[in-house]
Structure 1
Amino acid sequence: MTGWDHEWQGAVGKVTAAFGRLPDAVRLELAASARAMVAHKQAMQQLVTRVDAAAHCAGCGGACCAKGKYHFSAADLLVYLATGQPLFTPRFDNGLCPFLGEPECLMPPGYRPFNCITFNCDLIEDQMPRDEVARFYRMEQELAARYAEIRALFPARSMDGSLL
C-alpha cells in the first residue's frame, strides 16, 4: 500500500465514521440533498453532452483530467455514502489524476467533484449556445449552494476541502 492509499483509507474512514454518527433525521436530510446533487450534476453533464463533449475530450486526451488531482471532497464522499453508491478505488499508480480510469473517469457524472463537473474548456464551451452557457454557469452557482447545504449538516469546516 502506497502513502496515498493509506492517506485515502484514513480520510475515507474519518468521513464514514462521521456519517455513521449522524442522527436518523439528519441522515435522511443528507440523503435527500445527496440525491438532489446527483441529479443536478447529471443535468449539468447533459448540457455538455449535447455538444459531444466526450469527443472533444477524447481528441485532446482529457488533458484537464490528466492534470487535475485530488478534487474529491468529504462532501463528495458523503454523497456516495448517503445514496449507497459503491465507492471506487483510486489509481494512485497512474501518475495522473487518481480518479482517471481506463479510458474515463472512475466516477459516474453525478458523483464527480465540483471542479470536474463544472469545468468546460474553450473547445466545449464554444460549441454551446450562449443561453446554454449562461444556464450552465447559473447551475454552477446552484451546485455550490448544494455543497454548502451538505457541509452545513456537520460541525463547522469539518467537511471542507479535498479529501486528500
Structure 2
Amino acid sequence: MAGWDHEWQEAVTRVTAAFERLPQAVRLDLEELARGMVAHKESMQQLVAGVDAATHCAGCGGACCVKGKYHFSAVDLLVYLAAAKPLFAPRFDNGLCPFLGEPECLIPAGYRPFNCITFNCDLIEDQLTRDEVSRFYRMEQELSARYAEIRGMFPGRSMHGSLL
C-alpha cells in the first residue's frame, strides 16, 4: 500500500512539474482542450444515464469498476490541473480500484479515465438504441482524438500511459 501511495505521488509530481513548465499560451490551449474533454465525457455519461446505467451498475456492484485498476493517465491528471480542480486521494487500501469510493467513483464523470468512461457492459449497451450505440462509439473515437491532441502538446511519449 505505501508503495502505491509513493508511486502515485511521484507521478503526480512529475506531471504537475511538466504542466507548470508550459508557456502561458500553451497552458491556455490546454485549459480549453480540458474544458472540451470534460464536457465530452459528461455527454457520454448522459447518454448512458438515459438508460439508467447507474441502476444497472448498482445491481451488479460495479463489477467492471471492481476489476479495473490504474487507468488514470497523465492526460487525465493534466485535465485536473488545467481545470484547477482539487485532486482526489486514491484508496490503495481497498484491494479494489483505488478510485472506487463509498459508494461510487471518487472521480466525477467528466474527469474519469478513458477506459472508465467508454466501457459499457452488455446490460447497458443492450438498452441503447442502434443510433445511440453508433453515437456513443463515434464519441469514443472523438475522445481518443482529444487525448492524442493533449498528449501531442508534450515531448515524445512523456504523457502516454497510466500514472501507475
**Do structure 1's residue 81 and structure 2's residue 81 form an aligned pair?**
yes
Letter aligned with residue 16 of structure 1: T
Letter aligned with residue 120 of structure 1: N
Letter aligned with residue 33 of structure 1: L
**Do structure 1's residue 132 and structure 2's residue 132 form an aligned pair?**
yes
Shift of 1:156: 1.3
* Identical amino acids, percent of aligned pairs: 80
Shift of 1:148: 0.4
Which structure 1 segments of 5+ residues have no match? none
State the Cα deviation string for residues 35-83 of structure 1 (Å, max 9, x = none): 0000000000000000000000000000000000000000000000000
Name the structure 1 match of 2:47: 47
Shift of 1:100: 0.2
Aligned residues: 164
Name the structure 2 match of 1:113: 113
Name the structure 2 match of 1:94: 94
Distance in 2 separating the partners of 1:106 and 1:9 = 17
State the Cα deviation string for residues 82-118 of structure 1 (Å, max 9, x = none): 0011100000000000000000000000000000000
Distance in 1 separating the partners of 2:68 and 2:114 = 12
**Do structure 1's residue 158 and structure 2's residue 158 form an aligned pair?**
yes
- The normalised TM-score by structure 2 is 0.99
**Do structure 1's residue 30 and structure 2's residue 34 form an aligned pair?**
no
Segments of 4+ moved more than 2 angstroms = none
